[in-house]
Structure 1
Amino acid sequence: MRGTKIISLLAVGLAGTLVSWNPAAADATPTCLTGKLEYSHYDAEAGTRKPLVTQPARNANWELWGTTGGQATRLSSGITAVSDGAFNACYQGTNASELYVKFLSASTAMWRVIKSETSQAQYSFDSARTTGSASLGTVRVPASMQRAWKIVDTLNVLYWKRNNPTSACWTRRQATGSCDTLTFVWDQNRADSGYWDYPDTNYVILGENQPDSKHTILHEAGHWLQWQLYGRSFPRVTGCNPHYIEQSSSTSCAWTEGFADAVAAYALGDYRYVYDDGASFSLRNGPGTEGWDTGDTVQGRVGSSLLDLWAANGPDGGNWNKTIDLMSSQFSQNFREYFRTDRPAAGLSSSGAALTIIRSHTIDY
């Protein structure tokens, strides 16, 4: 966004539409294109029918472009409103012969969806052309791109809960202006997908219909978030291919996958994992839950323990904030280290109600 004055609203919770224009032309009459951006998506969280749902595209990037003498120029840029996807794309200066708004699959520089690792190109499309100020009404994301905007919109819920009071970045390890960008690669025709590409690109790779599940989006983002919380470091994971929610793998696999499961469920306010076909798997379990292996090598046991520690009536104060604080300064190779060593060092309980919780999920330290 060079050459324009941008005031980031990420630092104040992405509270509305961001507009920028050329201050040198402050005396000119503003020209504005207004409207609301919406996208439709197949809602796996609603069940296997996956109904087509339409909702606002919140905090999504837009650019106002103008054409003069056959030359297209970017005039201003901003983000859609958090409440209803509204945009107010304005500039002040010489009238352009043609104006339009370009919408991009990103939210400021905090997260983006690109087409491939090599092209780095975001999905984008243009509004109708006008010759002056106009209301564009409701602008809808083309059907072929709707899943890209679903990813952009879904990541809002994780960003809002990230517990970083010190900067606009994902974690307090980085200062505003020096944030890492969470990058998703999505291609409808991509078969090699459904993973966080660590340690190569560190992008999340999704394909086909996988973005239909918000849990899948947030689970993979959870891996990236853990890497960020650990200062771009990550546990050495073994015995994780394949891995299943209710089956034993390894302590490192159960810790990282269980954390990612818990991230998705916590961000969405539920207690399950939802697949892109609309089928769901409850994370609720106890010592006698049929078909479940036991102990801290089971990702579902770890994930549910975390969710109960963070629960409204749990021992950590009703949210995950203290765990995020802990992970911003302490590296845990597995759940045992997190619970037995790092929680006490951070002033979090590893006895009493906390110990009762993990024992209820068959983890007995």
Structure 2
Amino acid sequence: MQLIRRSAGRRLRAFGAVLITTLGLTAAVAATPATAAANACLTGTLVFDHLDAEAGTSKPLRTQVARNANWELWGRTGSGTATRLAAGITGASDGRFTACHTASLAEAYVRFRSSSTSMWRVVKAANNTTDYTFDSARRTNVSGTHDLGTVKVPSTLQRAWKVVDTLNVLYWKRANPSSSCWTARQSDGRCDQITFVWDPKVADGGYWDYPNTNYVFLGNTMPDSKHLILHEAGHWLQWQLYGRAFPVVDGCNPHYIEKHSSESCAWTEGFADAVAAYALGDYRYVYDDGSSYSFENDASTPGWDDGDTVQGRVGSSLLDLWAADGPDGGNWNRTIALMTRDFSQDFREYFTEDRPAAGLSTAGAAERILAGHTIRY
């Protein structure tokens, strides 16, 4: 079995390789809601700044709310040591938190964690799997509701919370109606958690560490690109869809969007490319420096090799099959269901064997889509 090290490349650059009620998640973090019985509450909105690679190479600084991020209420009723009193997640649309306890508190503060329930997390290292944390301002003699206003993630930690926030986008589109888990392979209370390792002192990264830790490793600036985050999550998702199995990949070091690699490499990398673009609703790959590469291609596109050993041909074919005007019903849901049942070693097997078995078309519009991207079976 091989180590899958995927780094986000560009043209002629090698690729190295929830919640609770709002997200339909169960049994993750027990939250203490604001009720008439609550005598001490800290409220506010969690936000973070981030460099926006999707906006171009200038990477403008944006501020946005941190959605579905874990928080904990810490406090003490007397002169003793502060303890954890309640936990929950920030709002799925507004980043709001309401952290309450049933008694007045001599001191209280909110601790924020770089994770979302028990479904995904960002940790410090493979051998130090603790979340990044920081605390809000402390309040004394807390009785009733105290509004902390806007609480901002420290600038040194903002990339960890960008990963946490970005993974919401994939979770919301995971197309698993049967449980709150990432795929229908698992049931509530027994979900697998995706782990990202981000170390601001390490430049190397951009790979899913299969079959070792199965963690995603990101270097310092890599979280600036949502596409990069979701591409690596896409490898993990394919592994989950296949019941913790993965195609045997060869000829993948290096690999490029528009160049030949191998059938297995083009399938797994093309799927990960398509996951990121589909989740974000576009048709490109964006690198952490803000440059991007379009998946628009046909037989006349300069510099592109032909066929299903080219990851860009595979990825764009998938995106067109899943498109609003495509033959699969306007989304990827039937492909996700198919992959949960059937293992495909490469794109040929997915298209010629598993799609027909699942009642998905391989003729007409579907066949024309592949031909338009130089893939013919």
Alignment TM class, shorter chain as reference: over 0.9
> Any stretches of 5+ residues in structure 1 without a counterpart?
1-5
Matching residue's letter, 2:336: I
Matching residue's letter, 1:59: N
Matching residue's letter, 2:357: A
- Residue 138 of structure 2 is aligned with which of 126, 129, 136? 129
Alignment of 1:278-297 (within 5 A): 278-297=290-309
Looking at structure 2, the residues matched to 49 and 321 of structure 1 have their Cα atoms a distance apart, in angstroms, of 35
Residues matched between the structures, number: 354
Looking at structure 2, the residues matched to 11 and 167 of structure 1 have their Cα atoms a distance apart, in angstroms, of 11
1:86 aligns with 2:134: no
Question: Aligned with 1:157: secondary structure?
Answer: helix
Normalized against structure 2, the TM-score is what?
0.91
Question: Aligned with 2:44: secondary structure?
Answer: strand
Looking at structure 2, the residues matched to 27 and 242 of structure 1 have their Cα atoms a distance apart, in angstroms, of 60
Deviation at 1:83, TM superposition (A): 1.5
Deviation at 1:172, TM superposition (A): 0.6
Deviation at 1:69, TM superposition (A): 2.6
- Residue 240 of structure 2 is aligned with which of 219, 228, 232? 228
Alignment of 1:307-326 (within 5 A): 307-326=319-338
Shift in CA distance, 266/279, structure 1 to aligned 2, threshold 3 Å: same
Deviation at 1:161, TM superposition (A): 0.3
1:337 aligns with 2:349: yes
Alignment correspondent of 2:15: none
Contact 1:11 1:167 in 2 (8 A): no
Alignment correspondent of 1:188: 200
Looking at structure 1, the residues matched to 101 and 339 of structure 2 have their Cα atoms a distance apart, in angstroms, of 43
Residue identity (%): 66
Question: Aligned with 2:129: secondary structure?
Answer: coil
Alignment of 1:121-270 (within 5 A): 121-131=130-140, 132=142, 133-270=145-282
Contact 1:18 1:80 in 2 (8 A): no
Of 236-245 and 29-38, the range deviating more from structure 2: 29-38
Alignment correspondent of 2:288: 276
Looking at structure 1, the residues matched to 294 and 146 of structure 2 have their Cα atoms a distance apart, in angstroms, of 49
Question: Aligned with 1:147: secondary structure?
Answer: helix
Alignment correspondent of 1:55: 64
- Bigger RCO of structures 1 and 2 (CA < 8 A, at least 6 apart): 2
Contact 1:7 1:18 in 2 (8 A): no
Matching residue's letter, 2:71: W
> Any stretches of 5+ residues in structure 2 without a counterpart?
1-17
Looking at structure 1, the residues matched to 19 and 164 of structure 2 have their Cα atoms a distance apart, in angstroms, of 20
- Residue 80 of structure 2 is aligned with which of 70, 74, 92? 70
Question: Aligned with 1:184: secondary structure?
Answer: strand
Alignment correspondent of 2:8: none
Looking at structure 2, the residues matched to 297 and 247 of structure 1 have their Cα atoms a distance apart, in angstroms, of 8
Looking at structure 2, the residues matched to 37 and 198 of structure 1 have their Cα atoms a distance apart, in angstroms, of 33
Deviation per residue, 1:95-134 (Å, 9 max, x gap)? 3321000000000000000010111111100000012141
Looking at structure 2, the residues matched to 364 and 159 of structure 1 have their Cα atoms a distance apart, in angstroms, of 33
What is the root-mean-square deviation of aligned Cα atoms in Å? 1.8
Normalized against structure 1, the TM-score is what?
0.94
